[in-house]
């Protein structure tokens, strides 16, 4: 090779390129192609320097893109010529700490198929090692202390490698070459209780604790009613269904209907809890709802336990709506308070960040996030923007997650839940500081909700940053626009339970026209005088009484806003002589007198009210229960009168969406539609609305990577701020 043809290039790669075996992968490609140079992690990116002929470097980069490890994602590549350097071979250098444009940290990765095979191979040195992992699997975000992602920067620093593991770690041709979580029976964490002991307790109908990647879980046998009762007593969770972990896909198929798309999602490295329609079952717990949260193990220790007993209820170790426990001392304290927890399968690997399991479903044939957390956070989303500043979007009050932006990258946090508790608020503030430090983000602007009483609004004010206040339902629509990079005006259909409106009313049944960072309210569900206070969110019968009073006072004949024909439902409700809502008379008087009431266009409250009027459910014992049971009734293959009316109600709402969008298209010429908000977690409503809109020439979009509920609000807030900054906001 003639030396005058040689050039040296520096190649920078942004994306999920740390913690996924990327540097060893690059070294192997270089070895295969006879390339000379070096590779290192610097900050949160990978930097490669190579010397060769230009066409060979082109082939090298192309091969990296085409053959990258399964969990890796390359978001951006930047190549630049350098003065020619000579290299004797190709080397992996120690990581650097340079200030980079957009650091990225990998999410936690479930155990890969090869490690699963080794886990069960008696001839393998890691046979039955509970913490088996390799370059492309194992904990990442939950154990990282700082970037770059190296063992010394994670909680694995507490477990020095033995000679055997170090030999694999330094062997270029080994699949654990530079695998930061590498360990074995000799040097890795050990379980505090054997899986056999834990399984014996579970088989005896007891509840035990289990330390997972992102925090402690509580486990019990879902087929043992007494065991489930104990768990509900511990959690103070009377009715909300629990998620169930199965040992493999075959067992999931025995309990649930599973499509190919759902199987792929269940088996993905994120291992989300997936909402699946279950088959007929004798289990009281599995029959609690039409859908069951189903998932597969994500670590070797879980597989070993489920080899002994499966399926298992696996739920976060906490009281309902409190943060998941991550520290050993916290779990020990809970066990002292809760003697019904009879044992704990723990270990000494510290959890740096508490992260709940993600929840997803397949809707319209596409995976959709319901709760974006473990396996996804803090992987950034890419937003098409020219603004290169840094923004903090604080999110909403319920199902909270926040977002930090750096140029076009939006770093979504894990799920925090509702922000009413002081403990959740403390963890939330800690994580904002932590993520800002990890990604070297110093926000110049904060974005919050319009609601003056939200904790997150107060936090935004407390930052001292310039503060942009964004309307709740506008943020919902903007989250869809961000995900799909929608250009031009969009009809935003935003249906949920509550959101502070620009007129001081409670919105929730909104048709908005959105473009860039701006919106116009085009139409909305007709206002109803709704009983206020937190209790009205839980007590569906109060929504029912509000609609009964409105109906009696001419709701159907009013001109402003969109009305749903409830005549058959009201007629049915009038025939239910056995109906008895304690407090109905007092509620009617309060509504008539305007005491503790507020004008509301909430679609979520309408769903609750209809569930109560049809005698299906009149109180939310957990969030969304009335609406969930209304959907279940609508899906009943052999419905009674209430079920038929429930199905008809869903159809009427879908027709309302179509008709209103047609009116807006007629006036404004807009055919793009974004469907978003918690109400669109209703599978029947979403899929029927999509079918009708497509049939009539619309292009409907919906959330995929973030939740349509308030967990996606922060993305919408960030998008609106980015678009406003592009337009000169604050200049």
**Per-residue pLDDT band at 379 (split at 50, 70, 90):** confident
- Of 4, 23, 224, 605, catalytic: 23
Residue-level pLDDT at 76: 78
**Looking at the predicted structure, is the pLDDT value of residue 589 above 60?**
yes
**Looking at the predicted structure, is the pLDDT value of residue 534 above 70?**
no
Residue-level pLDDT at 3: 54
Going from the C-alpha of 325 to that of each of 154, 329, 359, 484, the distances in angstroms are 19, 9, 18, 35
Q: Any bridge partners for residue 525, and if so which? A: 562
User: What is the pLDDT averaged over residues 628-656?
Assistant: 96
Burial level of 158, CB count in 10 A (0-12/13-18/19+)? Answer: exposed
Rounded to the nearest integer, the mean pLDDT of the chain is 94
- Whether 553 is a known active-site residue: answer no
Q: Is 163 helix (H, G, I), strand (E, B) or coil?
A: helix
Lowest mean pLDDT among 90-104, 438-452, 681-695: 90-104
**Looking at the predicted structure, is the pLDDT value of residue 97 above 60?**
no
Q: Any bridge partners for residue 411, and if so which? A: 404
Residues 6+ apart with CB under 8 A from 659: none
Proportion of the chain above pLDDT 70, given as a percent: 97
Q: What domains sit in the chain, N to C, each tagged with a CATH number?
A: 3-92 (3.30.70.100), 108-162+190-374 (3.90.870.50), 522-702 (3.30.420.40)
Going from the C-alpha of 62 to that of each of 10, 12, 59, 85, 332, the distances in angstroms are 15, 14, 5, 22, 52
- Whether 347 is a known active-site residue: answer no
Q: Token pair 């009964």 is at which residue?
A: 548
User: At 595, phi and psi to the nearest 5?
Assistant: -90, 125
Q: Please tell me what DSSP assigns to residue 705.
A: S
Q: Token pair 């029947």 is at which residue?
A: 684
User: What is the pLDDT averaged over residues 380-401?
Assistant: 94
CA 657 centroid distance within chain: 26
**Looking at the predicted structure, is the pLDDT value of residue 99 above 70?**
no
Q: How far apart are CA 158 and CA 552, in angstroms?
A: 69
Proportion of the chain above pLDDT 90, given as a percent: 85
Q: How far apart are CA 211 and CA 314, in angstroms?
A: 11
Lowest mean pLDDT among 16-30, 362-376, 390-404, 546-560: 16-30
- How crowded is residue 593: how many other Cβ atoms within 10 Å of its Cβ? 9
User: What is the pLDDT averaged over residues 628-642?
Assistant: 94
**Looking at the predicted structure, is the pLDDT value of residue 194 above 60?**
yes
| Cis ω for the linkage preceding 258 (within 30 of 0) | no
pLDDT in tens, 648-672: 999 999 999 999 999 999 999 999 9
Q: Are 193 and 344 in contact (CB under 8 A)?
A: yes
**Looking at the predicted structure, is the pLDDT value of residue 492 above 70?**
yes
Q: Are 26 and 38 in contact (CB under 8 A)?
A: no
User: What is the pLDDT averaged over residues 549-553?
Assistant: 94
Going from the C-alpha of 63 to that of each of 30, 66, 101, the distances in angstroms are 10, 5, 24
Going from the C-alpha of 27 to that of each of 23, 35, 76, the distances in angstroms are 6, 9, 20
pLDDT in tens, 346-378: 999 999 999 999 999 999 999 999 999 999 999
Residue-level pLDDT at 576: 77
pLDDT in tens, 4-48: 589 999 999 877 787 678 888 999 999 999 999 999 987 667 999
- Of 41, 153, 318, 620, catalytic: 41
Q: How far apart are CA 628 and CA 608, in angstroms?
A: 9
Q: How far apart are CA 2 and CA 53, in angstroms?
A: 9
User: What is the pLDDT averaged over residues 402-420?
Assistant: 94
Q: Are 132 and 322 in contact (CB under 8 A)?
A: no
Of residues 146 and 90, more confidence is placed in 90
Q: How far apart are CA 152 and CA 159, in angstroms?
A: 10
- How crowded is residue 660: how many other Cβ atoms within 10 Å of its Cβ? 18
Residue-level pLDDT at 1: 46
> Which element (helix H / strand E) includes 294?
strand 291-295
Q: How far apart are CA 307 and CA 248, in angstroms?
A: 10
The answer for 399, left when phi > 0, alpha when psi is -120 to 50, beta otherwise, is left
> Which element (helix H / strand E) includes 244?
strand 244-245
């Amino acid at each position: 090779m003639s030396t005058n043809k040689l050039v040296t290039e520096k190649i920078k790669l942004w994306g999920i390129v740390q913690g996924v075996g990327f540097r060893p992968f690059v070294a192997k490609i270089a070895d295969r192609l006879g390339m000379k140079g070096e590779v290192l992690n610097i900050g949160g990116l990978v930097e490669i320097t190579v010397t060769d002929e230009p066409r060979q470097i082109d082939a090298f980069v192309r091969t990296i893109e085409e053959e990258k490890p399964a969990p890796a994602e390359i978001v951006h590549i930047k190549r630049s010529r350098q003065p020619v350097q000579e290299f004797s071979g190709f080397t992996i250098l120690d990581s650097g700490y340079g200030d980079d444009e957009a650091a990225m940290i990998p999410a936690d990765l479930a155990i890969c198929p090869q490690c699963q095979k080794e886990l069960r191979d008696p001839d393998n040195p890691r046979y039955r090692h509970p913490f088996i992992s390799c370059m492309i699997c194992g904990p990442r975000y939950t154990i990282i202390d700082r970037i770059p992602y190296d063992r010394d920067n994670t909680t694995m620093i507490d477990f020095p490698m033995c000679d055997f593991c170090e030999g694999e770690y330094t062997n270029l041709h080994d699949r654990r070459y530079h695998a930061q979580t590498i360990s074995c029976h000799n040097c890795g964490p050990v379980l505090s209780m054997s899986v056999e002991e834990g399984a014996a307790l579970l088989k005896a109908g007891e509840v035990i604790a289990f330390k997972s990647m992102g925090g402690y879980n509580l486990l019990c046998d879902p087929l043992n009613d007494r065991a489930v009762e104990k768990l509900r007593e511990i959690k103070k969770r009377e009715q909300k269904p629990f998620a169930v972990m199965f040992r493999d896909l075959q067992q999931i198929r025995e309990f649930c209907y599973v499509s190919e798309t759902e199987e792929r999602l269940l088996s993905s490295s994120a291992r989300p809890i997936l909402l699946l329609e279950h088959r007929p079952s004798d289990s009281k717990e599995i029959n609690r709802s039409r859908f069951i949260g189903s998932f597969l193990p994500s670590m070797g220790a879980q597989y070993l336990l489920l080899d002994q007993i499966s399926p298992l209820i696996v739920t976060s170790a906490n009281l309902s709506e409190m943060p998941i426990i991550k520290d050993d001392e916290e779990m020990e304290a809970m066990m002292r308070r809760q003697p019904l927890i009879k044992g704990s399968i723990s270990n000494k690997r510290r959890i740096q960040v508490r992260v709940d399991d993600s929840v997803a479903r397949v809707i319209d044939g596409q995976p959709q996030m319901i709760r974006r957390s473990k396996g996804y956070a803090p992987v950034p989303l890419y937003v098409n923007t020219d603004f290169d500043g840094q923004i903090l979007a604080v999110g909403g009050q319920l199902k909270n997650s926040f977002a930090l932006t750096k140029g076009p990258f939006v770093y979504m946090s894990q799920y925090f839940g509702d922000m009413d508790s002081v403990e959740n608020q403390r963890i939330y503030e800690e994580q904002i500081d932590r993520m800002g430090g990890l990604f070297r983000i110093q926000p110049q602007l904060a974005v919050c909700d319009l609601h003056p009483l939200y904790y997150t609004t107060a936090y935004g004010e407390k930052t001292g940053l310039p503060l942009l206040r964004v309307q709740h339902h506008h943020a919902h629509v903007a989250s869809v626009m961000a995900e799909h990079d929608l250009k031009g005006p969009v009809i935003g259909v935003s249906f949920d339970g509550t959101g502070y409106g620009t007129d001081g009313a409670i919105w929730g049944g909104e048709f908005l026209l959105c473009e860039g960072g701006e919106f116009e309210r085009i139409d909305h569900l007709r206002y109803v005088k709704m009983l206020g206070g937190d209790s009205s969110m839980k007590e569906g019968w109060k929504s029912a009484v509000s609609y009964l009073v409105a109906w009696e006072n001419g709701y159907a004949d009013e001109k402003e806003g969109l009305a749903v024909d409830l005549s058959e439902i009201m007629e049915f409700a009038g025939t239910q002589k056995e109906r008895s809502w304690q407090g109905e008379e007092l509620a009617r008087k309060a509504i008539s007198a305007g005491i503790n009431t507020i004008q509301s266009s909430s679609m979520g409250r309408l769903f609750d009210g209809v569930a109560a009027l049809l005698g299906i459910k009149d109180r939310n014992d957990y969030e969304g229960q009335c609406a969930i049971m209304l959907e279940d009734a609508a899906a009943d293959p052999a419905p009674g009168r209430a079920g038929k009316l429930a199905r008809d109600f869903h159809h009427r709402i879908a027709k309302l969406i179509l008709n209103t969008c047609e009116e807006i298209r007629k006036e404004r010429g807009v055919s793009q539609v974004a469907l978003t908000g918690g109400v669109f977690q209703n599978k029947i409503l979403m899929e029927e609305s999509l079918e009708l809109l497509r049939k009539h020439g619309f292009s409907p979009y919906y959330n995929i990577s973030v939740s349509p509920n308030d967990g996606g609000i922060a993305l919408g807030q960030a998008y609106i701020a980015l678009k406003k900054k592009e337009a000169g906001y604050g200049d």
